[in-house]
Chains A and B, each alone.
Chain A
């Protein structure tokens, strides 16, 4: 230990290495609910790409595993060790905004910057990154978001996942070499602008990789002008809401570009929970008495006329499927306006974690499905809950879909999962239920994106990957990371 510690101190400076038990403990979990805490042996906070590279080289020399960690917001155990010991590399010290290029319409950052900090600067200049990262974007980092294909922080309907707009990425590879990808793969391209070109898209293997192929240190993202006009509306939808909302979203998709920046559907149980009937504190008192689902949208436009026309078209589809508009003000229950105008980086479901009081935590099974398959997935959840009713009751756990988000006008991100009690005696049962639900999602055609520890292992255990694909994944991993340094255990690698 002493030799490794000294080498790490040489790499990043003694102030930025810790082996204190109480520090290690705070890095032994992310925000996932039911996983065991697994203590690392060291935590380091590098301040530069060179320091990251040096840490990785130390890890290779002494065969010590590394888990990269951004804001520590992973819901699946992606930002904590899976196997005891090793190094957690906390990237939040590398948090500078490096350059905004208004000609190429890109922003370059160190990957430890948070989505909220980055977008606050851009907002002030009339721009944004389109998708604003994950719902936890006030603390989640750009590096973490790119590692998970994050959505949920706003803009996903219009711009898709945050990783779609990454045009260059600097990565420290598992043996410590630094590689430039995307536009920056060519030494002649001085201003990154696009990632598709120069041959195979090697940048993409680091997107959504959950930190198994490299440590992201710098990224260049596209930026977009923030339109001057917007409209925010919230509707009560007729039951069965999931079926009606799927029809509305499919109609919107067929209408072309409606400028819908974001749209979410909240099933009846979420609406009831938000209105405060089940809880000590109401979130949105205006929803009291509503026993149906809620659909909301925000439409952006560059002119008033454009906005008016797009709103007319979007509303037409909603009304054809029985949607009834709530008032336009936030106090009328217009959550869309609150999201866009007040909140900025939303986290409506995060509050649900404490819905039943202290110690109530999430076990997310969030995933994507195509729009038309959303109702099928709701039914699959109902069936799973019926099959697992006695275990759910034993755990005192809630299960279901809290929210769904229209992504890129083509898919739906289903925020599903369990809300459980974080008690030592329940952890095993909670985990059993959690894994079981993950398998159900995978086998029903759901596509997990934030895979971390548990979902990545569930994908392998459920035999989701045919052997040729999994062998390709294994080969890539072996080639890049022969010493099994980065995030060992994810995908059972």
Chain B
């Protein structure tokens, strides 16, 4: 029987699934649930495409009922690791009544563990992931770009090498959405934040972790730790939800207690706006907000982005039916966008349709990866075309001209 050490360590999670299957498509009006797993309606939809079936299949594999195969691996990578399944797993909805199952199972952790096993067995990750990870080993980013080009976005902006605050730019921003990096820089500067940006930062390792390459993730994390120490950072701020989750939740598991604080830029800006550090002009716009999974469900940052939006006078925030812990994933995470791009776009189109229903003129989010996928879907689905923007870019546009 094949050794599955990562999953075996979590076998009690697999044992804990009662199999009731709310993780497929639970609806609960009182809690704002209107569906759960993004995979169900965008794939062939057999049991192993959503959490109950994945867990059951993992359990069967642990019991030696079948051997892992390429087909098994392919379906295990059909998951954005959005965590919506965990968010509904026997959740009672009130503090006074608790359910045990969701305390026993961390679905995302289990699914990432099976991917780690698949990588070690040579069955994972998916072919496109392998190309990306090979590139990341050489050039430290998953976008097939040269590391030396990472700071192109900063052209004309002064970059400090040391400061208490370090702006961790990630990869999607610098290489694919440079405008967002520029806007983060400009808004932090406008608020009077003294911050550094390191030319030596590497990919945070999120991509490697999500698809199961833990060795690469660890080497990236250890390098970045040195960079943060060299910059004298007491707090690391990032605008990318994926980087944020990785730095905040995964780094401590990989390298132990962190000698610095990790903040999402919206957390920092919410405080700065509260303190009156940003002077915002009135807007006339109805917007909606898409909760990135890594920021929301994974790290429970729901309020700060909304506080920022609501801090702009005249702007009306209307919620999508699925929001906060019930939000539908954009479809990009967990290596889905790179391995199965059509699937990622298909899910994003569903999310765009939900945004359309609100009557909003603009979708805001707080993750360049979500924004990119939603924008890509908008481009291919013209009736759903709706401008997508980062919350920070939106704030920048509302800064009063001096």
Binding site for B on A (CB under 8 A): 15-16, 18, 20-23, 25-27, 29-31, 37, 43, 45, 71-73, 90, 92-93, 114, 116-117, 119-120, 123-124, 136, 138-139, 279-286, 330-331, 333, 335, 338, 341-345, 347, 350-351, 353-355, 357-359, 361, 422, 424
Contacts and interface: CB of A to CB of B under 8 A. Distances in A.
A116 B29 CA distance: 9
Contacts, number: 169
9 contacts: A22-B61, A22-B72, A73-B21, A92-B45, A138-B28, A286-B96, A330-B96, A343-B28, A347-B90
A204 to B, nearest CB: 28
A424 B104 CA distance: 21
B219 interface: no
Contacts of B71: 20, 22
B20 A136 contact: yes
Nearest to A337: B94
Interface of B: 12-13, 15-16, 18-22, 24-31, 34-35, 44-48, 52-53, 56-57, 60-61, 63, 65-66, 69, 71-72, 75, 90, 92-101, 103-104
B103 A284 contact: no
Given A116-B28, A139-B25, A25 B46 contact: no
Nearest to A113: B25
Contacts of A347: 20, 90
Contacts of B69: 20-22
B100 A139 contact: no
B43 to A, nearest CB: 9
Contact of B96 (A119, A331, A359): A331
A420 B54 CA distance: 23
Given A18-B46, A350-B18, A350-B20, A330 B97 contact: yes
B94 A342 contact: yes
A225 to B, nearest CB: 16
Nearest to B71: A20
A228 to B, nearest CB: 16
Contact of B92 (A18, A124, A343): A343
A358 B21 contact: no
Closest 7 CB pairs of A and B: A139-B21, A358-B15, A26-B47, A116-B27, A138-B26, A358-B16, A31-B19
Contact of A18 (B44, B95, B104): B44
Contacts of A120: 27-29, 34
A23 B12 CA distance: 22
A460 to B, nearest CB: 27
Given A283-B99, A350-B18, A22 B25 contact: no
A338 B92 contact: yes
B44 A22 contact: no
Contacts of B94: 330-331, 338, 342
B70 to A, nearest CB: 10
Contacts of B20: 31, 73, 136, 138-139, 347, 350
A26 B54 CA distance: 8
B29 A124 contact: yes
B31 A342 contact: yes
B93 A361 contact: no
A344 B35 CA distance: 15
A71 B96 CA distance: 29
A119 B35 CA distance: 13
A32 B25 CA distance: 21
A282 B202 CA distance: 45
A25 B57 contact: yes
Contacts of A43: 46
A325 B61 CA distance: 50
Contacts of B18: 31, 350, 353-354, 361
Nearest to B19: A31
B56 A26 contact: yes
Given A31-B21, A138-B27, 16 more contacts: A18-B44, A18-B46, A22-B72, A29-B19, A90-B46, A114-B27, A119-B27, A120-B28, A138-B21, A139-B26, A283-B98, A283-B100, A330-B96, A344-B31, A351-B101, A357-B104
B171 to A, nearest CB: 33
Given A136-B20, A281-B98, A341-B30, A21 B46 contact: no
A147 B180 CA distance: 54
A30 B17 CA distance: 12
B60 A26 contact: yes
Contact of A350 (B61, B90, B96, B97): B90
